[in-house]
Structure 1
Amino acid sequence: MPRAIWKGAVSFGLVSVPVKLYAATESHDISFRQVHAKDGGRIRYQRVCSVDGEEVEYADIAKGYETDDGEMVVLTDDDFADLPASSSREISVEKFVPREQIDPMWLEKSYYLEPDAAAAKPYALLREALTEADRVAVVTVSLRSRMTTAVLRVRDDVIVMQTMMWPDEVRKPEFSGLDAADIDVKPQELQMARMLVETLAGDYDPDEFEDDYQEALEALVRSKLEGGEVTHVERKEATGGEVVDLLAALQKSVDAAKTARGESTSETTKAPAKKTAKQTEKKAEKKAPAKKTATKTASKTAKKTTAKKAAKKAS
C-alpha cells in the first residue's frame, strides 16, 4: 500500500478507533504531453494576463470568481483565512442507515481505513456491527480543511469510507421527453423487454470486462519503443541569456511592488546599473598595474635564469 494520506479516529458513541486513510482507487490511463510534432519538443505555457498581455509571476496570482455577467471577484489569502475551516482528526458517526437509502450517484471518492495496531479489536467490532445490521454509517469528516459527509461500509473485511457530494451538487434530470403520460408502452413490447432482461440475466464478474482501448494503446507505445521510433529531444543548457531574463523578471517584480506602494521606479532601477558599470571600470583600472608587476617579475626571473645558464657554460 502507498503512504497513508490521513490519520485520525472513527468515533461512534464512546468508542474511538484510531485509523489511517488510504486512497482505494487509482487511474491507469496513459498520460500524454503536448509536443511539437516536428521535433518532439515540449510545449510550454506562460501565465499571461489577458488585460496587459504581460507574463504574471506565481506570487502575483490570486483566485477570482467570475459572475454570469462577466464581473470578477478577486479573493485574497486573508479572505480565505476568514472562512470556516476544520482540521479535526475525527470521523464522527452520525447515523447508521439502510444501504438502499444511499444513492450511488452521491458517492464520490473511496478510501480504505486501516486500524492502528492497538485498535484491531474495536475496528473488528465496528466492521461486524455494520455487516450484521446490513447498514452503512453516515459520517462527517474533515479532509483538506473542509468538512464533508461520507459513508462507511464493509468490503472484503475492510472498512471503506466513501465521500459524498452535497445534495445541491447532484443535478435533477429535467427531460420533458420522458414524461410517462406521453409514452404509450404496449403489453407485447413490455413482454419482449422482460424476455430480453431474463436472457441477459447473470452475476457481475469484473474479470469478464477488459479495457481493450487501454491495452491497444499500451501495445502501440511499446511497439514504437521496440521499433526505435523515438525522438531524441535536445535539452538546451542554461545560458547567460536566461540569467538576464531571470534578472529582468525579478526587476519587473520589484518595480511592480514599488508601484503598488506609490514609489518611483525609473530612478531607483537605472541608477544602480550605471553605478555598477563605473565600479566595473574602476576595478579594471585597479587591476591593470597588477599585470605590469607580474610582467616585470617574469622578466626578472627570465634574466636570472639566463645568467645562471651562461655561468654554467663558462665554467
Structure 2
Amino acid sequence: MARPVWTGVISFGLVSLPVAIYTATDSHTIHFHQLQRGTADRIRNRRVNERTGKEVALDDIVKAYDTGSEYVIVEPQELDDIAPGRSRSVDIVGFVDLDTVAPIYFDKTYYVGPGAKEYAKVYALLEKALTESNRAGIATLVMRGREYLVALKPEDGLLTIHTLHWADEIRDPRQEVPDLPGRTEPTAAEIKMASQLIDALSLDWSPEDFHDTYQEKVAALIEAKQAGKSVEKAEPAAEPTGAVDLMEALRASVERARSPKDTREKASTTKASAARAKKPSPKKRTTSPKPAESLRSLTKAELYEKATKAGIKGRSTMTHDQLADALVRTRGD
C-alpha cells in the first residue's frame, strides 16, 4: 500500500476533514545509466567545489541567492520558518465552477483519502456535494518545500487534489508561438471537409485503448541488441500539407477514414464494367495508358493513399513522382 505524501486537514467554513494525499500517477519511462563509451564504467555526478576541485558533503551545502554583487546565504530552517500553512491545513477560500478553469492550469493529480474511518461521513458529504454542484474547492497547499495553488474536485466517488499553475506561470501564446494564423481564414468548403474528417474519425474516449508505444519500442530495442539482432527503423514524419493540396488531402482522408477500401477506385471499376457490357468491342485496337502515366494523373493525396494501402515504406518523404514510381514497382510493371 502506498504511503501518503502529505497529511493534514482540509477546512471549508467551520468544517474540518483530516486527510492523507497520495500520488495518483506513475511513470513507466525506461531509465538509462551513463557509461564511458567503450567501457562498463559508470559515470557519477558529484558535488565538487569549483575552486578546490574537492567533493563536498551534502550537509556542508547551503542555498545562496546571487544578487549580482554578493551571495545571500539562506538556511533550510529559515525557509521552513516562513513557509505558509505550517499548521498542515488546507483552507478552501471558495468554490468555483469546474467549467471555468481552463485545462492549461491543471498540473499534477493526487488522490485524497480520509485521515481515519471516523471521518468517512464528512469525506463522503464533501465529495457528493462537489459532484452535484460541479464545483471545485480552491486552496493553497505547502508540500515538499513549495507552495501550490490547488483545486479539490470529485472524480468517480473520491476526492482528488490537482495542483494548478499560478497565473503568472502561463505564457502568452502570442509572444511564444511564431507564425500563428492571425486573420487567415479557411474557405467554407475546407471547413466542411475538415468537419467531415473529424466526424469520420470520431471515437469514444477509452484511455485503456492507448499505450506508450515508444517505451515498448525502446524495450524491444534493448532486447534485440542484447540478442545481437537489429530492429526496423521508424518511418520519417509526414510531409507538411501545403495550401494547394489541402482540399485533396482532406477529401482523400475522409474517404480513407470512412472505408478501408478505395471507394473511388471501386466506383470507377463499376462504371467501366457497365460501359463494357453496353458497348460492343471496338474494331480498332486502342492503346491503354502506361501504369506510370495513369498514376501520375492522380493527385499527390490520392497517390499517398494508395501507397499507404500498399505498405510502401518512406512514403511520407516522397514527392508526387516518387510515389507514382514506387506504386509501379509494387505492381511489378
TM-score range, shorter chain: 0.5 to 0.7
1:75 equivalent to 2:77? Answer no
**RMSD of equivalent CA atoms:** 2.7
Equivalent positions of 1:202-241 (< 5 A) are 202-221=203-222
Please name the residue that 2:100 is paired with.
101
2:8–2:90 Cα contact (<8 Å) kept:
yes
- Structure 2: gaps (5+ residues): 230-333
Partner Cα separation in structure 2 for residue 203 and residue 224 of structure 1: 38
Aligned-pair CA distance for 1:97: 1.0
Aligned-pair CA distance for 1:50: 3.5
1:7 equivalent to 2:3? Answer no
1:50 equivalent to 2:50? Answer yes
Aligned-pair CA distance for 1:38: 3.1
Question: Counterpart of 1:76 in structure 2: which amino acid?
Answer: V
Aligned-pair CA distance for 1:27: 0.9
Give percent identity, aligned residues only: 37
- Structure 1: gaps (5+ residues): 230-315
1:94–1:139 Cα contact (<8 Å) kept:
yes
1:160 equivalent to 2:157? Answer no
Partner Cα separation in structure 2 for residue 54 and residue 153 of structure 1: 50
1:86–1:146 Cα contact (<8 Å) kept:
no
Equivalent positions of 1:262-277 (< 5 A) are none
1:24 equivalent to 2:24? Answer yes
Q: 1:81 to 1:145 in 2, by over 3 A?
A: closer
Q: Aligned pair count? A: 225
Aligned-pair CA distance for 1:65: 3.9
Please name the residue that 1:142 is paired with.
142
Between 1:172-181 and 1:135-144, the stretch displaced more is: 172-181
2:140–2:149 Cα contact (<8 Å) kept:
yes
Between 1:185-194 and 1:141-150, the stretch displaced more is: 141-150
Q: 1:172 to 1:66 in 2, by over 3 A?
A: farther
TM-score by length of 1: 0.63
Aligned-pair CA distance for 1:117: 0.4
Question: Counterpart of 2:198 in structure 1: which amino acid?
Answer: V
Structure possessing the higher radius of gyration over alpha carbons: 1
1:85–1:146 Cα contact (<8 Å) kept:
no
Partner Cα separation in structure 2 for residue 155 and residue 79 of structure 1: 38
Partner Cα separation in structure 2 for residue 73 and residue 9 of structure 1: 38
Partner Cα separation in structure 1 for residue 19 and residue 127 of structure 2: 13
Please name the residue that 1:180 is paired with.
182
Higher RCO, 1 vs 2 (CA within 8 Å, ≥6 residues apart): 1
3-state SS in 2 of match to 1:10: strand
Greater helix percent: which structure? 1
TM-score by length of 2: 0.60
Aligned-pair CA distance for 1:85: 4.1
Please name the residue that 1:90 is paired with.
89
The superposition leaves residues 44-103 of structure 1 with CA deviations (integer Å, 9 ceiling, x where unpaired) of 233333345444443443324457xx7663433176466444322222222111111112
Question: Counterpart of 1:153 in structure 2: which amino acid?
Answer: K
Question: Counterpart of 1:18 in structure 2: which amino acid?
Answer: P
